[in-house]
Amino acid sequence: QKEVEQDPGPLSVPEGAIVSLNCTYSNSAFQYFMWYRQYSRKGPELLMYTYSSGNKEDGRFTAQVDKSSKYISLFIRDSQPSDSATYLCAMSGGNQFYFGTGTSLTVIP
Amino acid sequence: NAGVTQTPKFQVLKTGQSMTLQCAQDMNHNSMYWYRQDPGMGLRLIYYSASEGTTDKGEVPNGYNVSRLNKREFSLRLESAAPSQTSVYFCASMLERDRGRRNQPQHFGDGTRLSIL
């Protein structure tokens, strides 16, 4: 079983839609949770960083962590064509980071 | 503010050739990492360096060596390239790893796209 599971998509939504991206994990020791955005032929760019359970909001982005269910989510409100990218979840609880395989998102104008 | 800089951006090698991928960060970060990214596999850790002078193996270290030249620079070497090492290689850095409590997130370069024929 992989440490982190993420649906690869692809996901295609109209401009203005609310997007929900999700990851599940198996290691209850994970305490730090991140979402990265990766544009084509670029490196992952940090979007959100949260510690333990709860919600964190930054502009149009909201990250949720439910440690009891081992489930994290990223919500994008009022999605824009510029949000078209691959979104990677990541988590850590010790020496190393574990990444999901990424969900490809396309926002159609 | 350059962040994490990787060179070269692209490279084509023949099987058996050697090559060193360079990475430098200007954020005064302590920890540095090398990953490879393959379709459907996500990011897999090759080697990391928690601080200057130390290196440790990650998930997929075979066929690679690393050198933490100083606090800023962390290089990855392929001694005898194989087609299975065709991938996109990312370097990342992190401010510090607090053993007891809060980890900082990693910051990535834009990658080196390596093809081995």
Residues of chain B found within 8 Å of residue A44, distances taken between Cβ atoms? 43, 90, 108
Q: Do B90 and A44 touch (CB under 8 A)?
A: yes
Give A38-87 pLDDT, tens digit per residue: 999 999 999 999 887 889 999 999 999 999 999 999 999 999 999 999 99
Beta strand A45-51 with A19-25 is unpaired
Residue A76: both structure tokens together = 């994008």
Instruction: Please give the residue that has the higher pLDDT: either B99 or A95.
Output: A95
- Helices and strands in chain B, H and E counts: 0, 11
Quote the CA–CA distance of A68 and B71 in Å, as a whole number: 39
3-class SS string, A27-70: CCCCCEEEEEEECCCCCCEEEEEEECCEEEEECCEEEEEECCCC
**Given pLDDT bands bounded at 50, 70 and 90, which one contains residue A96?**
confident
**Given pLDDT bands bounded at 50, 70 and 90, which one contains residue A95?**
low
pLDDT of residue B98: 55
Q: Do A32 and B43 touch (CB under 8 A)?
A: no
Quote the CA–CA distance of B36 and B90 in Å, as a whole number: 6
Strand partners, B83: none
Contact A88/B at CB under 8 A = yes
Q: Do A99 and B43 touch (CB under 8 A)?
A: yes
Instruction: Please give the residue that has the higher pLDDT: either B101 or B42.
Output: B42
* A36, A46 contact by CB (below 8 A): yes
Give B58-105 pLDDT, tens digit per residue: 989 999 999 998 999 999 999 999 999 999 999 999 887 555 455 678
Q: Is the pLDDT of residue A94 over 80?
A: no
Residue that has been written with the tokens 């964190």 in this structure: A56
* B45, B58 contact by CB (below 8 A): yes
Chain-centroid distance of CA B49 in Å reads 10
Average pLDDT, chain A: 92
Among A37, A40, A101, A104, most B C-beta atoms within 10 A, so best to mutate, is A101
Residue B4: both structure tokens together = 């994490």
Of A44, A92, A102, the CB nearest to B108: A44
Q: C-alpha angle with apex B13: B37 to B78, nearest 5 degrees?
A: 60
**Given pLDDT bands bounded at 50, 70 and 90, which one contains residue B49?**
very high
Instruction: Specify the amino acid at residue A35.
Output: W
Q: Which DSSP string do the residues of A66-98 spell out, in sequence order?
A: ETTTTEEEEEESS--GGG-EEEEEEEESSS-EE
Contact A95/B at CB under 8 A = yes
* A105, A88 contact by CB (below 8 A): no
pLDDT of residue A23: 96
